[in-house]
Amino acid sequence: MRIYFMGICGTAMGNAALLMRALGHEVMGSDTGIYPPMSDHLRGAGVDILEGWSAERLAQLKPDLVVVGNVASRGHPEVEWLLEVRTQPYVSLPELLRTRLLNERRNLVVSGTHGKTTTTCMAAVLLKANGADPGWLVGGVPRDLPDSSHPGKQGGPFVIEGDEYDTAFFDKRSKFIQYLPRILTVNNCEFDHADIFRDLDDVLRTFAHVIRIVPRDGAIVANGDDANVLGLVKNVAWAPVIRVGTGASNDAVITDFQESAAGASFTLRWKGKEWGRVKWALPGLYNARNAAMAAVSAGLLIDAKDPTKLKLNALNTFQGVQRRQQVLVDRPDLTVIEDFGHHPTALDLTLESLRARYPHHRLVACFEPRSSTAARKVMQDGFRAALLKADEVFLAPPHRGEKLGEERFDSAGVAAAITAAGKKGFAPASSDALLAELTALVKADKSPRCVIFFSNGAFGGIIKKFAQAFA
């Protein structure tokens, strides 16, 4: 089959294209943002990338199937041609995955507001280390797997990140509705994606939908410490619910968590018996919970009655995913970290962990309000409260703030509130100005510092520049 991907250089689209090619399909696609590493990755695999959008070119190619990415909406020339011609088959990316791959696999779908990418990667690493030959699709660049996507063996386990964001311009259901979970992991649930969800109840509604499609021979692995998740699963009668957390009433319990500059460690217990102890480099209790969720979920695919047959050794050397608490500079006087955080809870937990790891450093948080939610005022108070855990805070202007008008995140106002609370808040006029002010501060004051950059985007390219200046 000849499959054409509209927006092929996106992370999810590009990795899905590589999956389809590995399954024997001929793959091509179009995009406007053609740049490494995805463009090099695709071309290295023999995938044709076509520059720009063209209805005429698409009509001449006559692919067997067109995959419409989220980059495309009404007014897009290739979309308009599809809608007018009516004879060209097209699907969303999640529908492609369901019909061409996931319907033949035992799927582990990792959902939640936070930690999806890291937990997906952990589950795939654990299954691989235990000889299960899994497939996977990770929404990031894993440091412990050979690639972001892999088909795995036919009929075997497949681990996929279950995103609650909508599917395509013609399908506003959450992506994870298409993913046919055998094991559904619900890491946590909070309000996010203010551009498509009205409030927390709206988010809970879509999670309730995916919970309803777990089969009776599957399982729901739930965060037993999260009140919203517990509310979602309290009346589930059609599939087993396994609870994971720090509370003693959970099925899998995280105990004896410790963290210092040397790393972190914790013990995982199953039904009262010790499963294993993990000593690793990843920060925070939140990552220990991610690991416990991944271990239980992967273990249930190995043995539905006794997940402890899964060995946990691979977690001890787990490095994580690029841009998730990734250390870029590690000197006695300066640590520089890059993180994908873009929700108040994520920033709060990460800063709390860094305070434990670097008790003698000044903690500097640099935040770019970039996501559709973070760039709005809707969570502004939450971000301010989280950022107060740092000593010095640099806030970039909100991404595309001019389009949001009075809805936009008030970087200057938040910086002023942080200063009034006794910390130091800065709101430079641009990312480049932020880089200059931050660099000047670090050079002028020789106090040991841990500098963390939070952004789910490029942050104007300043993260790499700052790290290179002090490497």
3-state secondary structure of 361: coil
Would you call 414 helix, strand, or coil by DSSP? helix
Residues 6+ apart with CB under 8 A from 118: 287, 290, 320, 321, 324
Tell whether pTM > 0.75: yes
Range 2-93 classified under CATH 3.40.50.720: yes
Q: Which amino acid is at 192?
A: D
Q: How far apart are CA 93 and CA 68, in angstroms?
A: 7
Across residues 283-305, what is the average pLDDT? 95
pLDDT tens for each residue of 345-398: 889 989 998 998 899 999 999 999 998 888 999 899 999 999 999 999 999 999
Q: Which residues does 379 contact at the CB level (< 8 Å), separation at least 6?
A: 191, 194, 343, 344, 373
The pLDDT assigned to 341 comes to 85
Identify the architecture of domain 326-470 in CATH: Alpha-Beta Complex (3.90)
Q: What is the mean pLDDT of residues 430-452?
A: 94
418 band by pLDDT with thresholds 50, 70 and 90? very high
Kindly tell me if the per-residue pLDDT of 54 is higher than 90: yes
Give the pLDDT of residue 96: 97
Could you tell me the fold of the domain covering 101-317? UDP-N-acetylmuramoyl-L-alanine:D-glutamate ligase (3.40.1190)
Quick count: other Cβ atoms within 10 Å of Cβ 265? 16
Question: What is the domain partition of the chain in residue ranges?
Answer: 2-93, 101-317, 326-470
With CA atoms as reference, report the closest residue to 232 among 328, 164, 300, 321. 164
Check residue 219 and give left, alpha or beta (phi > 0: left; psi -120 to 50: alpha). Answer: beta
Q: State the Cα–Cα distance between residues 213 and 178, nearest whole angstrom.
A: 10
Strand partners, 183: 108, 219
Instruction: Identify the helix (H) or strand (E) that includes residue 415.
Output: helix 411-420
Residue 419 CB burial class (10 angstroms; 0-12, 13-18, ≥19):
middle
Residue 35 has pLDDT above 80, yes or no: no
- Tell me how far apart the terminal alpha carbons of the chain are, to the nearest angstrom: 48
pLDDT average, residue stretch 42-56: 92
pLDDT of residue 36 exceeding 90, the answer is: no
Contact 376, 407 (CB under 8 A): yes
Helices and strands in the chain: count of H runs, count of E runs = 14, 23
Determine the pLDDT at residue 121: 96
